[in-house]
Every structure is written in C-alpha cells, then in structure tokens.
Chains A and B, each alone.
Chain A
Amino acid sequence: MAGKIPGGALPAAVGNREAVAEQRRRFIRQDFMLVCLLFAVLLLIPALPFVKGWMAAQAVLVIVYIIAAQGVSILTGYTGLVTVGHGGFLAIGAYTAALLSKHFGADVLICVVAGGAMSALIGVALGLIFLRLSGAFMAIGTLGFAFFVGTIVNNVKVFEGREGISLPPNHVFGLPIGDIGFYYVAVLLLGLMTLFIHSLVRSGVGRALKALRDSEKAAQSYGVNRWFYRTLAFSISAGITGVAGALNGLVTRFVSAEVYSDIWYSVDMLVAAIVGGTSMLMGPFIGGVFVAMLPFFLEKLADFSFILKGAVLIAILMFAPAGVGGLIAKPFQAMRRRRLAEAGARAVAGAGVAESVAQEGARNG
C-alpha cells in the first residue's frame, strides 16, 4: 500500500480549508455589500432638495453606460473576447423598445424586456457566426456588425433613418412616469443586472467561461462545451447591453440613426468595461461613470475628452490591467491573505477525506 503522500510546504503555509472557504465567502460578501451601499446612495439621491427632473434624466444616461459596461465586461472579462461592436446591440435594444412604444404604446418594463430579449437572440446568432474568431479578428468582426446595424437603421424605412422616431410619454403599469420615476426604473434594472452578474460569476457557468478563456483545451477536456458557453456568453452580454439600449431610447424619447450608427458608442462601452475591470462587481460602475461623466466635466473641451479617454485607457492597460476595480480589490485581497495566514497556525483539517473519495471510487468502479 502506498503510504502517506509526502508533500512539501509553501513558504507561507496556510493550512485550514475551512478558513479558505470562509475567506472566499467574506470577499464575495464585502464585494456585494459595497454595491448595496452604492444602491442605497442611488436610491436616496432624488430625495435631495436640489435635484431637478433633468438631472434624473442625465443620471439615467449614466446608468445606461454602467449597464452597457456590465454587458461588455461579461464578454471581455470572462471570455477574453474584445468587442468594438456592442453599439450594435445598444441600437437593437433601443429600436425594439422604440417601435413597441410608438406603435403599441407598450409599458416601459415590457419595452425593456423585449429590447434585452431581442438583443440576446441576435447575440446567439452572432455568437454562432463569430464562434471561430478571436483576438483582433473578433474585434474587426464585431466592428463590422456595428456598421451593419448602423446601415440598416439608416436605410430601412421602419427605422425612419436620420429623421428619427419620437416616442410617447413613458408609463409603467398604466401610470405615467416622469424623469424621477424613470430614474427609479433604471436603478431597479441596474440592480437586477448586478444581481444577475453576481450570480453568474460565482456559479459553475462563470467558472467554465474563465476556464475556456484561459485554456480551451483543458476546459474542453473537463466537459466545457466550447460553442455552447461562448454563444451563451455572447448572448448574455448582448442581452444586458440591449437592456441598456432600451433604457437609452426610452429616457430620451427619441431614437435616430444619427445617434445609433455612431461607432463611438461601441468604443466608449469598451473603454468603460476595461477601465472598470471585472475583479469586483462595482468595476462597470466605475467605468460607466467615468465614460458618461467625462463630457460633463469637459463641457467646453469636448474634443479633449477623447484624448483624455485614450490616455486613461493606455494608463489602465499599462499599470492596472485588472482595471480600477482591480485596484480597489487589492486591499481586500491582502486582508484575505493575512487572515488566511493567521488561520494557517491552526491544524490542517484533512480527516475523513480518504473515506469520502473512496466512496466515490467505489461508486464509479
């Protein structure tokens, strides 16, 4: 019989698997609490005395960028695919919502769900078409998609080209909502998207996506179906961006080809995703706010904002590839390591292991 397995020890040996489990849970909790805090602030903002309706509408535009950044970051962060064409999905969401609102007077919530669903559906098709692309080819492919959508909305009659579609006032459950009401709808949707991503990234699906990104061969050997998971990621990413698009169209109550064939939307969304990073849930919040607020601060120097965006992007890629979210996560991770090292003083809890695996073996054999 083979005896005890000899094993070396790491310099900073950490021995307690219970402690590892606890620290994992703690990090997820901290990450989640931070975002909850943010939501509390978002919900309280309209109660402030100096807040006016138009500010709420501007705030929705920021939320649109945050949700769009969440959508893009699913793709860039978890599958490692670069997309410069998500403006196309933004347009699909916006036009789906606009047409439903204009022709059927549909409820805001229905418009948003339909915008997300339509975008996700087209995401499936596109995901399948782009299945074999990666790296720069993927970037060019998605760019082509954005141009494609831009051309369609410019020229197909129902989308009314550059004239644009003006939308009737928004309503939820039959009740008309103003800018403040719409703001709450947007915060609610942002909350739902954040919860969904929170759930996705710590599930077996998030793990499979990251595995596929890091080593396709190894992931496949352990049963990760490449086309299913890549298409799923593409579709989820497209769907979330579609929700952002629907909100964007409805809040401005106007969609036109001039806006949605603009390639800068796609670029801005990618910048937001990269600046925020995927290390923490709040990453896309940071990136979205950065991209959306920059033009406000540089009102007189609008062109300068492109230069600044580019400079920040380069700086992030060079010095903090995990994004600003990654920088914020660092102290938390250090704390986690320190706690683990302290826990390492306790004994290794390894008893009962052999038995359980033996049972597995017996069941299989």
Chain B
Amino acid sequence: MASLLRCEGVTVRFGGVLACDAISLEVEQGKIVGLIGPNGAGKTTLFNVLTRFEQHDAGHIYYRDRLIDHCHPHQIISFGVARTFQNINLFANQSTLDNILVGAHRLIGNPFSNLYSLPSARRNEAALVRHAMEIAAMLHLSDALDTPVRNLPYGYQKRVELARALASRPEIILLDEPVAGCNDEETAELRGIVQRINREFGITMLMVEHDMSMVMNVCDHIYVITFGANLANGTPAEIRANAQVISAYLGEQVEE
C-alpha cells in the first residue's frame, strides 16, 4: 500500500519547550491510523503542523510523496486533505446545509463567475447543494438541514463536522478527537460513521483520540507518542501488549 501522508523527523520548539522532537509517522492509503499519547505528548502540535496551522522547525511532511512543508492552511484541502476540529468549529449561526457547503468550497470554481451567478456557476452550485444533501441524508442530518447549527444537539454538531469534511470530497480526513465529550451512545454512532466512511468510500483517516475503546476498535495502525517523541507503533493488539506504552500511560510498576 502506498503511503498517503507521511512526516519525517518533525520538530517543533516553543521557546525552550520541545513540543515535537523528530516525530515520524506514515499513514497508508485506505487505513484508519490512530495517534495517541498522554496529555502534553505533542499530539495537538503535530496535528497543527500536519494541517499547516503550525510551522515546524525541522523535518518534512509529504503528501503522496509531494513535499508540503510550506503549504498554507487553505492549500492542503486542494490535495484532498480535510480535517475536523476537537471542540467543534462550525459556522454557528449558519444552517447545517450552509456549513456542509463550505466544505465544498474548493469545488465552487472561479470565484468571479460565482459573483455574477453565471450559468456555469449556477449549475455547479446546484450540483454542490445536491451532493451536500446526499451527504446530510447519509449522516442522518436531513431533518436539520435548515437549522442553525448552534441550535443542534452535540451529536448532530459532531456529524455536521464530518459531513462538512465529506463535502470536500477528501482522500484523507484528519480527525481531532472525534468523540471528545460524547456520551456512549454518540460515541458508538460516530464510530459506526467513521468506519463506514472508511470502508464504503475508501477514505483514509488519521485520528487523534483519547477514547481507548474507539482507538482500539477502529484503527488499523496506531502511533504512540510521549514527551514529543515517537514511543511505539503497531496494530492495536501490539500496542495493547506493549510494556513501554503501558508504563507511559500508567507509570512504572513499583517493585514491592
């Protein structure tokens, strides 16, 4: 399998703090890859580097073997790299449909033919709206299409995040704690959706997540980082059995 997203030796310093120390990871096409680690391990920083909101001091990031070290945040979507946000970052006052349509922004075509609503832009817009509604139906958001997202329950908002990502027709979605703050029912629902998106549509995922049941059940491959550095990587079973990982999470076992 070809690697889709890859980073090598990514290092980020904030003043004297070494947030990421030569972290490397590789996301294979079609897989769901997990990124875990204790609080403060550097997951969020690495995530921000991958989504280009943070600039790394050393190392390289590749997408399909293309160097993307100097891309701006708005550029990576054009390769098919979409993301969701940890604390839900939707356009709160706008309807579900409009939120999903922003996801399709890279497909609007020439902004100037949009400005004047030229026939080509109108046809394209109609197609985008249709596609957005299909995605909404798939994620059970049809009944909320016209509702401002701030009025929606938490679980709905999480699904709108995913729907917006899907509307960009991505190759890979970077999920920043997709089930943070969800109850068991919502978690199970989102797990089903994530797996379904991956299996039915072949969309690759990289997931930062604290919920171990989610990570262990969904991911094909897991990277563990701690203190800003790679600790281990492997299948869920390997990670579960890894003594280093256990000690990183639970601390060293004290000999009596």
Binding site for B on A (CB under 8 A): 1-3, 5-10, 13-17, 20-21, 23-24, 196, 199-200, 202-205, 207-208, 210-211, 214-215, 217-226, 228, 232, 236, 336-337, 340, 344, 348-350, 352-354, 356-358, 360-365
A-B contact pairs, 21 of them (CB 8 A): A2-B192, A5-B196, A7-B189, A10-B153, A21-B133, A196-B116, A199-B117, A203-B108, A204-B101, A205-B115, A207-B98, A207-B105, A214-B94, A220-B74, A221-B77, A223-B78, A228-B111, A353-B137, A357-B201, A361-B203, A363-B169
B56-115 contacts to A, CB under 8 A, are 72-75, 77-78, 80, 82-83, 85, 89-94, 97-98, 101-106, 108-109, 111, 114-115
Asked if B91 and A214 sit within 8 Å, CB to CB, the answer is yes
Closest chain B CB from A130 CB (angstroms): 19
The residue from A221, A354, A360 contacting B83, defined by CB atoms under 8 A apart: A221
Asked if B102 and A2 sit within 8 Å, CB to CB, the answer is no
Give the residues in chain A near B234, CB-CB below 8 Å: none
Bound form: Cα–Cα A344–B146 in Å = 12
Interface range on chain B (Cβ under 8 Å from partner): 35 or more
Whether B240 sits at the interface, judged by CB under 8 Å, is no
Asked if B111 and A232 sit within 8 Å, CB to CB, the answer is yes
Asked if A205 and B111 sit within 8 Å, CB to CB, the answer is yes
Whether B121 sits at the interface, judged by CB under 8 Å, is yes
A205-B114, A224-B74 are contacts. A336–B146 as well, Cβ < 8 Å? yes
Asked if A354 and B200 sit within 8 Å, CB to CB, the answer is yes
Asked if B85 and A365 sit within 8 Å, CB to CB, the answer is no
Asked if A214 and B144 sit within 8 Å, CB to CB, the answer is no
Asked if A10 and B193 sit within 8 Å, CB to CB, the answer is no
B126-149 contacts to A, CB under 8 A, are 128-129, 131, 133-140, 142-147
Asked if A1 and B199 sit within 8 Å, CB to CB, the answer is yes
Ranked nearest first, the 10 interchain pairs of A and B with the lowest CB-CB distance are A361-B201, A7-B140, A204-B108, A365-B202, A350-B137, A199-B117, A2-B196, A214-B91, A223-B106, A223-B77
Bound form: Cα–Cα A205–B193 in Å = 30
Give the residues in chain B near A225, CB-CB below 8 Å: 72, 74
Residue of B nearest to A344 (CB): B143
Closest chain B CB from A356 CB (angstroms): 5
Binding site for A on B (CB under 8 A): 29-30, 51, 53, 72-75, 77-78, 80, 82-83, 85, 89-94, 97-98, 101-106, 108-109, 111, 114-117, 121, 125, 128-129, 131, 133-140, 142-147, 152-153, 155-156, 164, 166, 168-171, 185, 188-189, 192-193, 195-196, 199-203
Give the residues in chain A near B196, CB-CB below 8 Å: 2, 5
Asked if B80 and A223 sit within 8 Å, CB to CB, the answer is no
Which DSSP category, helix, strand, loop or mixed, fits chain A's interface? helix
Give the residues in chain A near B94, CB-CB below 8 Å: 210-211, 214
Asked if B134 and A218 sit within 8 Å, CB to CB, the answer is no
Give the residues in chain A near B85, CB-CB below 8 Å: 217-218, 221
Bound form: Cα–Cα A357–B162 in Å = 14
The residue from A5, A214, A223, A228 contacting B138, defined by CB atoms under 8 A apart: A5
Closest chain A CB from B119 CB (angstroms): 12
A6-B189, A17-B137, A204-B114 are contacts. A356–B144 as well, Cβ < 8 Å? no
Bound form: Cα–Cα A2–B200 in Å = 9
Bound form: Cα–Cα A362–B168 in Å = 14
Asked if B137 and A349 sit within 8 Å, CB to CB, the answer is yes
Closest chain A CB from B101 CB (angstroms): 6
Residue of B nearest to A12 (CB): B143
The residue from A9, A199, A210, A337 contacting B116, defined by CB atoms under 8 A apart: A199
Closest chain A CB from B132 CB (angstroms): 9
Asked if B105 and A211 sit within 8 Å, CB to CB, the answer is yes
Asked if A2 and B98 sit within 8 Å, CB to CB, the answer is no
Bound form: Cα–Cα A211–B91 in Å = 6
A5-B138, A199-B117 are contacts. A210–B91 as well, Cβ < 8 Å? yes
A199-B116, A222-B106, A354-B200 are contacts. A364–B169 as well, Cβ < 8 Å? yes
The residue from A202, A205, A226 contacting B74, defined by CB atoms under 8 A apart: A226
Closest chain B CB from A167 CB (angstroms): 31
A23-B146, A221-B83 are contacts. A17–B203 as well, Cβ < 8 Å? no
Asked if A8 and B200 sit within 8 Å, CB to CB, the answer is no
Closest chain A CB from B32 CB (angstroms): 12
A5-B139, A13-B143 are contacts. A358–B91 as well, Cβ < 8 Å? no
Closest chain B CB from A277 CB (angstroms): 13
Residue of B nearest to A353 (CB): B134
Bound form: Cα–Cα A218–B39 in Å = 24
Q: What would 6 more interface pairs be, CB under 8 Å, given A20-B142, A364-B203?
A: A6-B189, A10-B144, A218-B85, A344-B143, A360-B169, A361-B200
Give the residues in chain A near B109, CB-CB below 8 Å: 204
Asked if B142 and A15 sit within 8 Å, CB to CB, the answer is yes
Closest chain A CB from B136 CB (angstroms): 7
Bound form: Cα–Cα A211–B134 in Å = 21
The residue from B131, B143, B166, B171 contacting A9, defined by CB atoms under 8 A apart: B143
Bound form: Cα–Cα A9–B143 in Å = 8
